Amino acid sequence: MNILALDLGTSSVRGLVMDADIRPLPGALARRKTVLTVDGDGAGTLDPRQYLACLIECLDELHQHGHLREVDLIAVSAQWHSVLPLGVDDEPLGPVLTWLDTRPEPSPALHGPVDAVDYHQRTGTWWHRCYWSVRLPWLREQAGTRVRRFTGLVEYALGRLLTDAPMSMSQASGTGLLDLGTLDWDPEACTLAGIRGADLPELAGRDWRGRLRG
């Protein structure tokens, strides 16, 4: 049994194949540098389609050299906080906001959580521009068209490769919308974000297993 480890980072995408004892196989590493767009206004974005292409190129390279033949497990390490609006056709409506993007601001019409301390206890986060509770209303306003739903960059990329790609609890905890006690989307955080559960990725159950598309 071999393991394919994917690192879906901000500056690069990498794939590494290891044996069952977590020892890298000789030459079984593929890496593609991503194109991160930053500017003086606080933008820090990635092109989702270009990012997906980098991931596929890494997989193709490993496949061409025969490194994927004995892979039975895949482990993914990925960036937190990224978010992407999707349209009615489930295609991206713009770039991915990464954790580097500082442009989102809370709506002046909202006053934040009723009890900030309790909110922090439930979600482990604050009402802050880094989290989806602030990012989603800002993204919806910027989109200029109907946003069908929001997803993370990881779920977008894996969703193109797998039959389904729910969000792991680890990734969900980085959105600021997850109740860490119930392991479900927090109602107050969703209200602040101006969304319903259907607007968010499905959450992965404990026994979830992915399947590659044909």
| Distance between first and last Cα of the chain | 22
- Report how far apart, in Å, the C-alpha atoms of 99 and of each of 7, 96, 177 are: 16, 10, 15
- Give the predicted TM-score (pTM) of the model: 0.93
Is 50 part of any domain?
A: yes
Is 88 part of any domain?
A: yes
Q: How many domains does the chain have?
A: 1
Regions of the chain with pLDDT less than 70: none
Report pLDDT digits (tens) over 162-182: 999 999 999 999 999 999 999
Rg (CA), the chain: 18
Report pLDDT digits (tens) over 127-144: 999 999 999 999 999 988
Query: What residue numbers bound the domain in which 153 lies?
Result: 36-62+80-199
Here the CATH number for the domain that contains residue 171 is 3.30.420.40
Is 15 part of any domain?
A: no
Picking from 28, 158, 23, 142, the residue whose alpha carbon sits closest to that of residue 94 is: 142
